[in-house]
Chain A
Amino acid sequence: MSVKPKSLWQKMWEPKDLQSMAPATKVLSYSILLFWTFIVLFPLYWLFVTSFKLPIQVSDGPYYIPFIDFEPSLHAWEYIFIDLGRDTLRPYMNSIIIASSSTVLAVFIGSMAAYALTRIEYKPKVGSIVGFIVILGLVVYLTVVVKMQWQLTLSIGFALFVSFVFAFSRYFKRSLGNNDILFWIISQRIMPPVVSVLPIYIMFQQLGLLDTHFALIVTYMAVNLPIAVWLMRDFFARIPVELEESAMLDGASRMRVFLTIYMPLAKPGLAATTMLILILSWNEYLLALFLSTADAQTMPLMVAAQNATRGPQWWYMSVLIVVMIVPVLIAAGFIGKMISKGQLSGAVKG
């Protein structure tokens, strides 16, 4: 067999060798990638430019490039940061406090559970779980329908459950495994927040905690916990079990093993998980809409509120959105570096 001379079509679409790209593929790939870069960046550019426009420049039709098309003005920035001042800063601080503390809590508590589920074998008895569900149903019934005090019903329920477990647990044969627990935790994520937010709203209302940082932090943490468990379990599972065994033989407690061996080794995983949850809680809208009104108002609500009585205030909105993106970008750059570093050291070890 001799190698046939290539046709023009082949020359266009077939690379010279495996390290390079064919001319047509190259042109096509780069144009699509650059086109998508434009699609991604243009809305952000437009927001950025709009934040420097006067209302008249927005309503008069499109102006594209500052200094050439139109004279940029800082009026919107002045309004948001000087005129509104504290009213901007408060939701901004709220968002920072709520997003960061709920993320830290979710990642830490989730990591604990994820570690436990990778390295410790659990065998919850089916019978105990059925008993628990029955008792919980009873508690709900007593609280909501019979209108007993929830403090009372909860403690009765707890006492009932403890005595139930002690009395009957040795008769239960069938038990579930770690994967069932994991599935149960992850499946909570399927639940649309709109289903649970009404009762949570009522719960916090009863406790007098509506419109507080606490309510939002706890709720965000609960909503994001399944993600943390799910992602961290994968990262922990990759850490060789011998490390834990040798540390335990050296006399370390489980908690110490978790804190001094697993957490540092899973740093890239922690970074990725933290980043994802941080983004989710920073941008969260629906739960905040239900649970906060003024004091604990977060940035997404503040942005949404710019659509007020006089129609959408594009320039103010743009400022707020740009200001909201910046910290996430910074965090992403910082955390992204950690992720890639971790992967690199992992690759070197082979």
Chain B
Amino acid sequence: MQTHKMNVKRKRSFGEMLDQASPKLLILPTVLIILFLAIYPLLLSAYLALSRFKLVRGGFELKFVGFRNFKKLLFGSQEYHFLGTVGEILLWEWLLIVIVIAALCRWMFRYLRSAKVTVVGTLGRSVTLVVFSALTVLAFAVLNGTGYPGSLMITLFYVFAGVSIQFVIALGLALLCAQNIRGKNFFRMVFFIPIMVTPVGIAYAFRMLMDMSQGPFSPLWTLFGLGEFSWAADASMARWVVLIGDSWQWIPFLFMVLFAAIESQSKDQVEAAQLDGAGAWRIFKDITFPAIAPVAATAVLIRLIEAFKIIDLPNILTNGGPGIATESMTLHSFIAWRTQDLGGSAAVGYSLLFIAVVVCVSFFNFIGQKTQPKGA
């Protein structure tokens, strides 16, 4: 046997070098774009949130003011706008608050006593605990009829009420559609349409539809004696109308995802349960729902993330009004920007980011993880 000498140095062509670098080249564009158009702006925005913006001759001036912008939102002149006007909390409401907070504490306590305590886990749960407790108190203080909610609570209303309503309706429609029905494809296609309509268009369409005196349903309203009623002037009705428009647009998304998940679940498992004597409800509860739960959790998470960004509908449907009754945080931030209050605008944006991160990460870690397949 002859041994090969390995001292021959191969000349590497340019193409080969390019190929060798391809792992970096493939991911570099994405990383750079995110660095320049997400991380860099995020840092700049942090600085904006901590400073006061002033137009001066031939440009602008930024003055570092620390947390004054946030202070203004939480305790200062913008408190009514951001947190809302605090009303009186009744005794039984205090009781409910205590129950909610006690439940959160119990959850925290059980974690601390369990075997798998970590520093990060404890820290994360503490943040969730504090934020959710504070939000519970705030919710009761501004939403019980004696106070007025600010953009924070209004956004959370859109997010939580909206996503839950949309999830329930979408799940119901998906279950109905997944039955052995005719025209399955027709329904699937039609139910998908609203997501393709621009939110601005939806806002105008619903303004037309909800017109009490000239809209298509006006005879109906007149019949109920509501012909003169103006929902746009009623704070809570206006919020519900925004919510209806938002739901009309986003139910299709959840519907498509849930429908696909139901259609792709194992038929054998359902048949085994049928043979064992399970009825339709038990099959849904014991077999179908656990099977689609991971997909459902992901879909809800995506929806949560997007729901925090709502602006088009309240801006056009109600222009944030009456007063600030339908103003989401994004709209609040936009209005602040329009009035040249860049610092305030960035501060609202950052608060939104904070709340969104806490809610989404809590959902992902504490609810989403539970739906994952067991014993993995």
> A residues touching B (Cβ–Cβ < 8 Å)?
18-21, 25, 29-30, 32-33, 36-37, 39-44, 46-47, 50, 58-62, 64, 109-110, 112-113, 115-117, 120, 122, 136-137, 140, 144-145, 181, 184-185, 188-200, 202-203, 218-219, 221-223, 225-226, 229, 253-255, 258, 279, 282-283, 285-286, 289-290, 299-300, 303-304, 306-307, 312, 314, 317-318, 320-321, 324-325, 328-329, 332, 336
Contacts and interface: CB of A to CB of B under 8 A. Distances in A.
B297 to A, nearest CB: 15
B26 A120 contact: yes
Given A29-B176, A285-B198, A303-B201, A62 B43 contact: no
A223 B305 CA distance: 13
A194 B180 CA distance: 45
Given A61-B218, A109-B33, A328-B196, A192 B356 contact: yes
A40 B191 contact: yes
Interface in B285-306: 305
Contacts, number: 259
23 contacts: A29-B176, A33-B176, A43-B205, A44-B197, A62-B218, A64-B216, A122-B23, A136-B35, A136-B39, A145-B47, A145-B64, A184-B34, A192-B349, A194-B345, A195-B41, A198-B346, A199-B48, A222-B38, A225-B33, A229-B30, A283-B200, A314-B204, A332-B192
A283 B23 contact: no
Residue of A190, A195, A203 most packed against chain B (CB within 10 A): A195
Nearest to A258: B26
Contacts of B34: 184-185, 188, 222, 225-226
Q: Which has the most chain A C-beta neighbours within 10 Å: B206, B316, B342?
A: B316
A321 B38 contact: no
A49 B248 CA distance: 20
Given A62-B218, A110-B30, A188-B38, A43 B181 contact: no
Contacts of B357: 190
Contacts of A254: 19, 22-23, 26
Interface stretch (B73-81, B139-147, B307-315): B307-315
Contact of B219 (A62, A202, A219, A318): A62
B372 to A, nearest CB: 14
Interface string B152-194: 0000000000000000000011001101110000010111111
B203 to A, nearest CB: 8
Contact of A332 (B42, B196, B345, B353): B196
A321 B201 contact: yes
A318 B348 CA distance: 34
Give the most central of B27, B213, B349: most A CB within 10 Å.
B27
Indicate the member of A19, A194, A221, A320 with the most B CB atoms within 10 Å: A194
Interface string B335-376: 001000010011011101100110010000000000000000
Please list the 5 inter-chain residue pairs (A to B) with the smallest Cβ-Cβ separation, ordered nearest first.
A222-B37, A199-B44, A199-B41, A321-B201, A113-B30
Nearest to A254: B22
Nearest to B316: A304
A314 B218 CA distance: 17
A41 B181 CA distance: 20
Contacts of B19: 253-255
Interface of B is mostly: helix
A20 B356 CA distance: 45
A283 B44 CA distance: 27
Given A255-B25, A318-B204, 20 more contacts: A37-B187, A47-B205, A47-B208, A58-B214, A61-B214, A145-B47, A189-B305, A191-B38, A194-B333, A194-B334, A195-B353, A196-B42, A198-B337, A199-B42, A279-B195, A286-B311, A290-B337, A304-B200, A321-B200, A321-B204
A33 B181 contact: yes
Contact of A221 (B33, B181, B192, B215): B33
B15 A190 contact: no
A221 B181 CA distance: 40
Given A37-B190, A113-B30, A332-B196, A190 B209 contact: no
Interface in B55-111: 62, 64
Contacts of A229: 30
A209 to B, nearest CB: 13
Given A109-B33, A136-B39, A303-B204, A120 B23 contact: yes
Contacts of A202: 44
Interface in B7-40: 15, 18-19, 22-23, 25-27, 29-31, 33-40
Contact of B37 (A58, A64, A185, A219): A219
A299 B198 contact: yes
Given A59-B214, A192-B352, A140 B47 contact: yes
A144 B62 contact: yes
A198 B176 contact: no
Given A33-B173, A254-B23, A255-B19, A46 B216 contact: yes
